[in-house]
Amino acid sequence: MQDGKVIYGPVPALGGRKGNATPTGMFRVLSKEKMHLSREFDNAPMPNSVFFYPGDAFHTGSLSTPSHGCIHLSSTASLKFFNTLQIGQAVQILP
């Protein structure tokens, strides 16, 4: 969001599996990493990670297999989010 307006999205996405729900609401971008490796999940690659909540990020991932709380996006959408969103910028996560 920018000036209260959506600047990109909604896009196809997949959140957390049962027992690992993705937090919803308004958040701010906390950090970004071009290729984050998840220490919690055997160094699983998380390309184009945009963290909006401690431990949870938008990143390239499967649109058919739910995550452990992150939001999986297509590579195109995750790259757009990574390149467009700035640290501190507001993001909205809908259920």
Number of structural domains in the chain: 1
What does the pLDDT average to over 56-83?
96
| 68 a catalytic residue | no
Q: Is residue 3 part of a domain?
A: no
Q: Tell me the per-residue pLDDT of 6-62, one tens digit each, with 9 for 90 and over.
A: 777 788 999 999 999 999 999 999 999 999 999 888 888 999 999 999 999 999 999
pTM: 0.88
* Cα gap 14→85, rounded to integer Å: 19
Residue from 36, 68, 70, 72 carrying the catalytic annotation: 70
Cα 28 to the center of its chain, rounded Å: 11
Is 31 among the domain residues?
yes
Residue range(s) defining the domain that contains residue 61? 13-93
Task: Tell me if 6 is assigned to some domain.
Answer: no
The domain that holds 70 is classified in CATH as: 2.40.440.10
Residue 33 resides in a domain: yes
Single out the residue of 5, 4, 91, 7 nearest to residue 51, CA to CA: 91
User: Is 59 among the catalytic positions?
Assistant: yes
User: Is residue 37 assigned to a domain?
Assistant: yes
